[in-house]
Structure 1
């Protein structure tokens, strides 16, 4: 059966041939020619039978690779780590315009992914100086901190892509994490302590770029490293980290966090959790609605009598809509737009795309919802006027373009904000509210027109009063 030989590796066929020959034996010297031919034919037949057995074995392995088996489960257990992995940016986003600026560090590298880059080597000596200052301030011995990391280096190694860590032995990788972790914590301490930013051995503008670098997906340390370095004063260190996250959030971070919250995977994961807040899907009115929306942007909603207000919390889930017959109010979390906004949101979106993260694309859905509201600079202007959006980027046109670029090719959760959209659509379809809103916008868009209207009403009132007393004079 020649076909069976081509379907399997050559090594398997050779192994089968050896086994057959051991069983059948060689032809003895002096045997006739016909006996030799018969023996060879018999040997060939046996070989084909064994290869067919190998085919069955190979099929079973393939079935087990899909359906699972003892060997596969054991292998998966060995590859798992008790801390979430730090993935690389998904392939889908690697074609993003200005990828290097948006996803790669420009001042300082953290972890193994960008450690080798020549343009980041200047920060390596500064990281050692910052490491020394952190160790002296924390009053811990460098040997103790190093040994803590070495003791868990196998698990820490598994947090990264294997191709990025295979060139480092355990000692080199542990040393990298020690220096990166200590310098990172010293940077956070100086950044969040009033008057200590000047203690950093870098310029102010580099400190701003370094802060952006610490929220890139491929520039993260396992949070376990920070835990080991902060012991035993972890609670105090955690407050410092929370303050740093709050200063970096584009929206106001929630003031209260859950006591039962799981430990974050890294700083970017912690930032995402603070942006999401503690609300559940039911509290955000998700899961209802028609699924079909005819409204387009802020100005169309404004024309339908819908006004915008800042939400009480900064959670990206805190979006709600209330309708009062002719007027509606859409509440949105406050958001600050600056030079770091695009990079930060894209890295959060990249993190949500990774298979290691639970399938809950809240940031992605939030960006898509804002993109549906913002089409042109006038939409941005209205959100600014209502104190929902703060623009530190420049012109309103740039902000509108920023959201259009971020939301390109994104797929939101179909249930996200579904009830809010349904309520908006229902209000939008009320024609009377649209007519009244258009009339108010056309005739009462400025305080002068309002004053003129009030003056006309007063004049009509007194004119009518004078006419009445002329027709029906009153006598003392």
Structure 2
């Protein structure tokens, strides 16, 4: 109802009383009813939902915080085989995503013990550290999915981050310091599962929380060097005596983001200029490349980006980063892949592309065996067949960057198509595959040489 308007007709002549009665009788009320076009209104709402309007502001955008977000595992990976084992913590929860789970409650008392031990060595008390986190809780809370944080008020969430952050740093300190592992309140076997839990996508703390706690416990870069040693051990399997930190490097979003950066290293991006290469490869696996005269060597840097190929006539060398395969490898790479698939992360799929490239080389256990023999792959998982199966499972439904390693693939394809190199390789493999065949060949050559020499001197005696 938009307009209500009264219209009074002209009164007949007469007394005031008659005029009032006449006016009342002739009074009319007009009601204008506007019928809204539902189809038109629906269209306008749809247009506005895409194009936006004056009410749009920075606060209504996806980024509600200056800090990087901590996403959940994307929907497309929910059907991953053994999803719970690969993406959910089994011993300890970090952050709000899995904090409520009953099977993880046993670790809460252990986290409080580690928090107590960590704060004892801090220059500031627990109340000061708690207030630091409370002062930034609005930013920290927005790093997570709203559905996960709405059940906690700001103080409860700040307390959760304090306990999780202190216990996490105490664990890393004990893990990376010689002789300190005895200070952990659980057995060595459990520590390995805790290490895996700390590098799950949905089990992360904003790195800002760790910064606030580190500055009250360590001097200078000591705290960051400790974390770097932990990440280095996760990748390499051994603890370095010392690591260096670049103070000008952009701070990571969380531990998993730091792990990804160290996997990729300081090499240039694996993307190459578009237009190079044929877009497909006729070779299939390591054994086919070996038959074409291609050998495999460990790259010097160990960065996942450090993949190169060099060809020398009938022999080629494919340099690959060393990789260690153990029980935690599958979960680690799946969580890195899940992180790259999230919309909150820049459009970059370098870990995904590396795993897909390695999977293209590994079809059978014999491929794994050859990579082991060339010191490119270290197998602590079990049989070579298990490793081959692992890569086939990780890459299910994955789509790599089409530009990744494109020039390397083109060089390999060019060498693979060279029939001369294949013939030479087959000849060498057939006749010089062992030291005995090489010795037999040298013996035959020497026999021919001396036989020819004897014939020469028979025909042409030395006296002549």
Q: TM-score, normalised by structure 1?
A: 0.88
Name 1:90's counterpart in structure 2: 74
Identify the match of residue 419 of structure 1 among 395, 407, 424: 407
Cα offset for 1:79?
A: 5.0
Name 1:263's counterpart in structure 2: 251
Cα offset for 1:464?
A: 1.7
Partners in 2 of 1:26 and 1:112 — Cα distance? 66
CA contact (8 A) 1:86 1:160 kept: yes
Cα offset for 1:195?
A: 1.3
CA contact (8 A) 1:216 1:268 kept: yes
Name 1:191's counterpart in structure 2: 175
The two structures, once aligned, show a CA RMSD in angstroms of 2.7
Partners in 1 of 2:410 and 2:335 — Cα distance? 30
1:324 and 2:312 matched: yes
Matched position secondary structure for 1:350: helix
- 1:201-240 correspondence runs (5 A): 201-232=185-216, 233=219, 235-240=221-226
Name 2:427's counterpart in structure 1: 439
- 1:357-436 correspondence runs (5 A): 357-436=345-424
Identify the match of residue 171 of structure 1 among 155, 160, 166: 155
Cα offset for 1:258?
A: 5.8
Partners in 1 of 2:373 and 2:21 — Cα distance? 103
Deviations 1:314-343 (A, max 9, x none): 111000001111111100000000000000
Matched position secondary structure for 1:72: coil
Name 1:356's counterpart in structure 2: 344
Name 1:75's counterpart in structure 2: 59
Partners in 2 of 1:212 and 1:188 — Cα distance? 12
Partners in 2 of 1:160 and 1:253 — Cα distance? 32
Deviations 1:7-58 (A, max 9, x none): xxxxxxxxxx3xx26x34699999999997xx67x533xx22xx35x97676
Partners in 1 of 2:145 and 2:22 — Cα distance? 63
Deviations 1:183-222 (A, max 9, x none): 0000000000111112101111100000000010000000
Name 2:108's counterpart in structure 1: 124
CA contact (8 A) 2:295 2:317 kept: yes
Superposition misfits of 4+ residues, deviation over 3 angstroms: 24-36, 54-62, 250-260, 284-287
Matched position secondary structure for 1:205: helix
1:135 and 2:119 matched: yes
Gaps of 5+ in 1: 1-16
Distance verdict in 2 for CA 1:461–1:151, change over 3 Å: same
Structure with the higher fraction of residues in helix conformation = 1
Partners in 2 of 1:170 and 1:234 — Cα distance? 30
Matched position secondary structure for 2:462: coil
Gaps of 5+ in 2: 9-19
Partners in 2 of 1:381 and 1:214 — Cα distance? 31
Partners in 1 of 2:47 and 2:210 — Cα distance? 42
Partners in 2 of 1:350 and 1:98 — Cα distance? 15
Identify the match of residue 444 of structure 2 among 438, 448, 456: 456
1:289 and 2:291 matched: no
1:180 and 2:164 matched: yes
1:244 and 2:230 matched: yes
CA contact (8 A) 2:225 2:244 kept: no
Q: TM-score, normalised by structure 2?
A: 0.90
